[in-house]
Amino acid sequence: MNDAAGSGADPGLDRPALHEWLPAHVAGLQPPFRFTLVAAGGSNLTYRVDDAGGRAVVLRRPPVTAVLATAHDMGREWRILDALHRHTDLPVPTPRAHCDDLDVVGAPFTVMDFVDGRIVRTPADSAGFAAAEYATATDSLVAVQAALHAVDVDAVGLGDLARTRTDYVARQLHRWMTQLDRSRTRDLPVVDEVHATLAASIPPESGPPGLVHGDYRFDNCVLGPDGAITAVLDWELATLGDPVADFAWSCCYWTGPDDPAPFLEAAPTLDPGFPTRAAVVERYARASGRDLAALPWLEAFSYWKMGCLVEGVYARRLRGATGGMGVTDPGTIADRAERFLRHAAELLSRIS
């Protein structure tokens, strides 16, 4: 691997190696290439790659430092994209190539088509929407998630994506607690207290298990000119499980002006043109036909999970990793983790 692979300008890339590898594995790509980092932080590094002929693709690879053993599995993400692209009508980027050879950039990576369009990350990104675009974007977001949850995983070759299809929440509780335990840097009793309450009160699942995205929200989707979704991105957390738990996580991103612990401080849904979270729940109930009786409990679980995730970012920051949460002060990240965990405890206290 060339020394450029870990350079500050292009973390995780080796330009000379990629100028050889990309034309050999992605038909039609013409060097030289221009690499632009479009997403970094605690998730996978995502680069836009523009070739000499005006074509654009996307290259994704794990973070350069502080990678958890069970996260950032590029082969898994490639497999999911390939199956959904070939066997369903779900809007996903066209996968082009996958590399497991660590001599190229030092880690596995995938290449897919770049999908042009709008990504709504903050209220400013939807400020120019017409009323019809707000409705189309909301309806499309819900409809695509419901369609994802209805995919016949055996028919598309993803039936073995998880060791078991049931007990999704129990698996998630174990996974996130295990990851947190591996990176603990401080005593945080609330995380253990809420975990114990959750583990002792898991509700029945909503019905047949399905494919769950794991982080489905507006800023992981590309919108077309009319506001409809043209691509769902970032499949690294996808697995098999309870679709309503997946929807509950998405709901927590649907921030309103009075939310005491917003997942995102500047969530796009703070734009008053978007409907309320309650209206989105009604849309999903109609589109999916799922039983949403466990949704309040699942939202509490989601806040606990987010607390664990942010606590992991805090731990990695203390070890020198950069990126994640949009802030640099470790104390601010630690406070956010505690806020999510306390809110999870409050939500659980309201459930009889």
Q: How far from 300 is each of 210, 213, 340, 346, CA to CA, in Å?
A: 21, 19, 9, 8
- The tens digit of pLDDT for each residue in 189-219 reads 999 999 999 999 999 999 999 999 999 999 9
* Contact (CB, 8 A) for 43 and 312: no
CB atoms near residue 324 (< 10 Å) = 21
* CATH number 3.40.50.300 given to 123-349: no
Give the residue from 25, 43, 26, 45 showing the smallest Cα distance to 35.
45
Domain ranges in the chain with CATH number 3.30.200.20:
3-113
* Residue 150 to residue 84: CA distance in whole angstroms: 12
Q: Is 253 helix (H, G, I), strand (E, B) or coil?
A: helix
Domain ranges in the chain with CATH number 3.90.1200.10:
123-349
Q: With 0.75 as the threshold, say if the pTM is over it.
A: yes
* Residue 260 to residue 247: CA distance in whole angstroms: 20
Q: List the structure tokens of 64.
A: 């350069």
* Residue 325 to residue 310: CA distance in whole angstroms: 8
Residues of the chain with pLDDT under 70: 1-9, 40-43, 65-72, 321-327, 352
Q: How far from 56 is each of 4, 34, 38, 133, CA to CA, in Å?
A: 22, 9, 13, 27
- The tens digit of pLDDT for each residue in 273-290 reads 999 999 999 999 999 999
Where residue 275 falls (left for φ over 0; alpha for ψ -120 to 50; beta otherwise) is: beta
The beta strand positions in 79-121, using DSSP E, are 95-99, 109-113
Q: How many residues does the chain have?
A: 352
Give the residue from 162, 158, 161, 160 showing the smallest Cα distance to 90.
158
* Residue 304 to residue 317: CA distance in whole angstroms: 20
* Residue 314 to residue 337: CA distance in whole angstroms: 8
Residue type, 261: A
Q: How far from 320 is each of 67, 71, 315, 317, CA to CA, in Å?
A: 12, 18, 9, 5
The beta strand positions in 256-305, using DSSP E, are none
Q: What local confidence, expressed as pLDDT, does residue 73 receive?
A: 80
Residue that is written with structure tokens 């975990």 in the block: 195
Q: What local confidence, expressed as pLDDT, does residue 68 receive?
A: 46
Q: Which long-range contacts (C-beta less than 8 Å, at least 24 apart) are formed by 319-324?
A: 319/66, 320/65, 320/66, 321/42, 321/63, 321/65, 321/66, 322/41, 323/40, 323/41, 323/42, 323/63, 324/41, 324/42, 324/43
Beta partners for residue 222, in sequence order:
231
DSSP annotation string for 318-343: HTT---STT---HHHHHHHHHHHHHH
What does CATH list as the number for 3-113? 3.30.200.20
Q: What is the largest CA-CA distance in the chain?
A: 62
DSSP annotation string for 134-152: HHHHHHHHHHHHHHHHT--
Q: Which long-range contacts (C-beta less than 8 Å, at least 24 apart) are formed by 98-101?
A: 98/74, 99/21, 99/25, 100/75
